[in-house]
């Protein structure tokens, strides 16, 4: 289990074997919803074909360009056996859709929680198997972390993750390009980090999220921590009162407006 997992919830057994040994070929993926085809690993040097995305996407997102008052709230490091179901109740009560970046070493103990996430319209993203520092890994290690978590999520839910978040945000530019090219994963970071992992208290978490929220923003929080979940009712209610609409990360990315093109020097001279 990850070292940051609460001791009282640690299972009595622990599989130390990697979920995907380097020499093991991944099994073919089952078909999913139309438009959400899954990555294949048999032709890693192909040019990007958007992997089911409707258009070319960026390799990194901290927010999107939009005039709409939409926002994505994302929860990392779960699923937690107690905190996550309680959070799901809060989201369901408010009809809010969220994105959960789950850790493979947590998924295998709580697959039923992932199934509930999908049933209630949430999105699940890849947060690796072991929650290690990807920036310090070889490309082989990176692929193994992502493939392993991808397959665990798929096995639990029948739905493949569309995006990934590197633990701690630790990732290199070259790795971002590799993940988009080979997996179809954009790297999702954040626009607001309340540093809830430092446990500043529910009121502080709420205040930081509210002050940082803006259209097209991505909120980072952790359902691993009880005080964070305690902060959610007030946070969600106040964001709703401000007119924000919550969407999943895939929805948010697909809503991004194209960048405004600057006129060329020739066009500017013609205007004169």
Total length of the chain: 272
In-domain check, residue 32: no
Q: Catalytic positions, please?
A: 76, 222
List b or e across 26-64, with b for residues whose CB sees 16 or more CB atoms inside 10 angstroms. eeebeebeeeebbbeeeeeeeeeeebbbeeebebebbbb
Cβ proximity of 124 and 166 under 8 Å = no
Residue pLDDT, tens place only, 125-167? 999 999 999 999 999 999 999 999 999 999 999 999 999 999 9
Asked whether 148 and 141 are in contact (CB, 8 A), the reply is no
Query: In this structure, is residue 140 part of a structural domain?
Result: yes
| CATH at 189 | 3.20.20.370
Averaged pLDDT, 104-127: 96
Quote the number of domains for the chain.
1
Q: What does the mean pLDDT of the chain come to?
A: 84
26 lies in some domain? no
Q: Is residue 19 part of a domain?
A: no
Tell me the pLDDT tens digit for each residue of 65-87: 999 999 999 999 999 999 999 99
In a domain, 218, yes or no: yes
Residue 49 maps to a domain = no
Please tell me the distance from the alpha carbon of residue 117 to that of residue 79, in angstroms, as a whole number: 10
Residue-wise pLDDT tens digits, 196-215: 999 999 999 999 999 999 99
3-state secondary structure of 45: coil
The answer to whether 1 and 105 have CB atoms below 8 angstroms apart is yes
Predicted local confidence at residue 257, as pLDDT: 87
- Residue 83 located in a structural domain: yes
Structure token digits, residue 159: 């739905």
Residue 26 pLDDT exceeds 50: no
Is 27 inside any structural domain? no
Which domain, by its residues, includes 172? 61-258
Q: Is the pLDDT of residue 53 over 70?
A: yes
Angle, vertex CA 228, rays to CA 236 and CA 224, nearest 5: 125
């Amino acid at each position: 289990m990850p070292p940051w997992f609460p001791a009282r919830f640690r299972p009595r057994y622990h599989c130390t074997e990697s979920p995907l040994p380097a020499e093991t070929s991944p099994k073919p993926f089952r078909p999913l919803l139309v438009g959400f085809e899954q990555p294949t690993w048999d032709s890693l040097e192909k040019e990007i074909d958007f992997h089911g995305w409707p258009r070319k996407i960026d390799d990194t997102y901290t927010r999107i360009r939009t005039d709409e008052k939409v926002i994505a709230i994302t929860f990392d490091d779960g699923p937690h056996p107690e905190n996550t179901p309680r959070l799901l109740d809060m989201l369901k009560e408010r009809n809010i859709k969220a994105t959960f970046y789950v850790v493979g070493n947590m998924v295998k103990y709580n697959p039923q929680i992932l199934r509930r996430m999908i049933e209630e319209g949430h999105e699940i993203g890849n947060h690796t198997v072991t929650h290690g520092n990807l920036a310090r890994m070889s490309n082989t290690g990176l692929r193994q972390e992502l493939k392993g978590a991808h397959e665990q999520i798929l096995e639990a839910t029948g739905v493949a993750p569309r995006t990934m978040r590197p633990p701690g945000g630790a990732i290199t530019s070259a790795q971002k390009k590799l993940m988009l090219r080979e997996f179809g994963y954009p790297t999702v970071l954040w626009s607001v980090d309340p540093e809830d992992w430092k446990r500043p208290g529910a009121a502080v978490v709420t205040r930081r999220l509210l002050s940082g929220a803006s259209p097209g923003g991505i909120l980072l929080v952790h359902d691993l921590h009880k005080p964070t979940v305690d902060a959610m009712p007030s946070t969600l209610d106040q964001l709703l009162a401000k007119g924000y609409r919550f969407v999943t990360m895939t929805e948010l990315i697909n809503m991004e407006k194209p960048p405004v093109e600057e006129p060329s020097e020739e066009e500017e001279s013609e205007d004169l």
